[in-house]
Amino acid sequence: MTLAPPAIISGLTALLGEAGVIADAMAMTSYLTEPRKRFKTPAVAVALPADVPALQALCRWANDHRVPLIPQSGNTGLVGGQVPLAGNEVIVNVSRLDRVRDVNAAAGHMTLEAGVILEEAHRAAEAAGALFPLWIASQGSARIGGVLSSNAGGVQVLAFGNARELTLGVEAVLADGRLYRGLNALKKDNTGYDLKDLLVGAEGTLGFITAATVKLFPIPEAQETALINVPDPGVALQLFYLLRERTGSRLTAFELMNRFGVDLQLKYGLLSRDPTASLSPWYVLAEVNRMKGSAPGALQAALEEALGSGLVTDAVVAESEADRTLMWAAREQMSEVQSREGASIKHDVSVPIGVVPALIAEGTAAVEKVIPGVRPCPFGHMGDGNIHFNLSQPVGADPKAFMAREKDANAAIYEVVLRLGGSVSAEHGIGQLKRELLKQVKDPVALEMMRAIKAALDPNGILNPGKVL
């Protein structure tokens, strides 16, 4: 029998002390308010375990009493995986588990607890003379536990991979309080199933990631960055192939943007000046790492070849860190600025790299048929096939009426994505937002396997119930 809220709060306080429990509705607001403000369900309480043994005790107690727990780190997720669904849950925020346990730059790894903020992880690596290359827009508030649980991607997946590929080992508390001691720095380990890959990307449905050992890389001596005019995504794809051939693994970013998004940022003062060389329907933001001892100019040489062949017509190369910062601001503010222009329907999808131009062309035609006058703003990680296919409301449209067509717009985009062999969630996860969609698009056998794994590791269903599955 599930405990009543007063009994849950009393039990939590006995386990964690008063400093480890928040039960006041107003005090819980920041833990309940997710970035898109789409989910508004209350929680019974917020638990803040101070260390791993406290979290283990909490899970044992919750499992015994069938109290549902929601793992939460920085509360930056965009699909509602870290906030309540039913209203009877306890949010378990791991922000107090915030130690950097070890940094070994020479060997290429460091071990962090789940509550370490991503930006602090960057600083810890840099202080030791190394690079941790996972960069996302919310890195000032996102924490390692959530970053790994959602298998975050970001702007350097092209060269370094997503969170799963950057993880060597994890430590995790299971539903019944047992501690999985999977922290290691091994690049090769063929002793059975790779359990870290099961926990990374599980969105807290299989256990609480409490710490992780992640890969480090040498710090580049410099970055070569350019904002390049392209007439359309098809030419952008050809440019990607050329740059990859000329620069190889040093090509760390290849981001696609349209002029509409740049104009919005200039309109609302998010950019101090236009960072582009000249007007163009589309732009590519490309960046190449220059390592110590290597000659400069690899990106410049590749661009000169592209310009000489007529593949591109104009480009601007960053001459200073200020130039580079402005170029990246234009990319990173693409999503944010659309909210200033009115309602926006957002999609996080991926397709094989070779069909990104088809995704944009066919997706645009499909949504314009559903919502005449809609203003598409597809942008993102073209180099790994992940496009944020966002849609701004028509000029003068009623925001509520526009958002009422979200389901129709989703269906139009997802039909194109699936037909092209893509995924309806590239890097944001499933959470509660896309749970029903997952049932429609996932292979039935894959769903059966996922449910079997969930039942084996969390037989009482206390971990993030109703999320993903």
Tens of pLDDT, residues 85-95 = 999 999 999 99
How many angstroms separate the CA atoms of 196 and 111, rounded? 14
Cα–Cα–Cα angle for 324, 330, 333, nearest 5°?
A: 130
Reported as a pLDDT band with limits 50, 70 and 90, residue 467 is very high
For 228, residues 6+ apart whose C-beta sits below 8 A from its C-beta are 239, 283, 284, 285, 286, 303, 306, 312, 314, 315
Question: So what's the pLDDT on residue 227?
Answer: 98
CB 432 within 8 A of CB 80: yes
Check residue 154 and give its pLDDT: 86
Cα dihedral angle (295, 301, 302, 307), rounded to 10 degrees? 170
Q: pLDDT tens, 310-366?
A: 999 999 999 999 999 999 999 999 999 999 999 999 999 999 999 999 999 999 999
pLDDT tens sequence across 197-207: 999 999 999 99
**Mind listing the pLDDT tens digit for each residue in 411-443?**
999 999 999 999 999 888 999 999 999 999 999
Cα distance between residue 86 and residue 369, in whole Å:
36
pLDDT in tens, 101-118: 999 999 999 999 999 999
Q: Indicate the average pLDDT of the chain.
A: 96
What average pLDDT does this structure show over 24-33?
A: 96
pLDDT band at 1 (very low <50, low <70, confident <90, very high): low
d(CA 393, CA 396): 8
Task: Encode pLDDT of 142-188 as tens digits.
Answer: 999 999 999 999 889 999 999 999 999 999 999 999 999 999 999 99
Where residue 294 falls among pLDDT bands split at 50, 70, 90? confident
What's the confidence (pLDDT) of residue 219?
96
For residue 458, pLDDT beyond 80: yes
Element holding 366 (H helix, E strand): helix 356-370
Instruction: Please state, for a pLDDT cut of 70, what percent of the chain lies above it.
Output: 100
Whether residue 10 is predicted with pLDDT greater than 90 in this model: the reply is yes
361 CB-near residues (< 8 Å, 6+ apart): 233
Q: What is the pLDDT of residue 217?
A: 97
Q: What is the percentage of the chain residues whose pLDDT exceeds 90?
A: 96
Q: Which of the four pLDDT bands, split at 50, 70 and 90, describes residue 243?
A: very high
Summarised one tens digit per residue, pLDDT across range 119-152 is 999 999 999 999 999 999 899 999 999 999 999 9
The torsion angles phi and psi of 395, rounded to 5 degrees, stand at -60, 125
Whole-angstrom distance, CA of residue 128 vs CA of residue 106: 9
Q: Is the pLDDT of residue 269 over 70?
A: yes
- Sorted by sequence, the CB contacts under 8 Å of residue 35 that are 6+ apart come out as 75, 76, 77, 78, 138
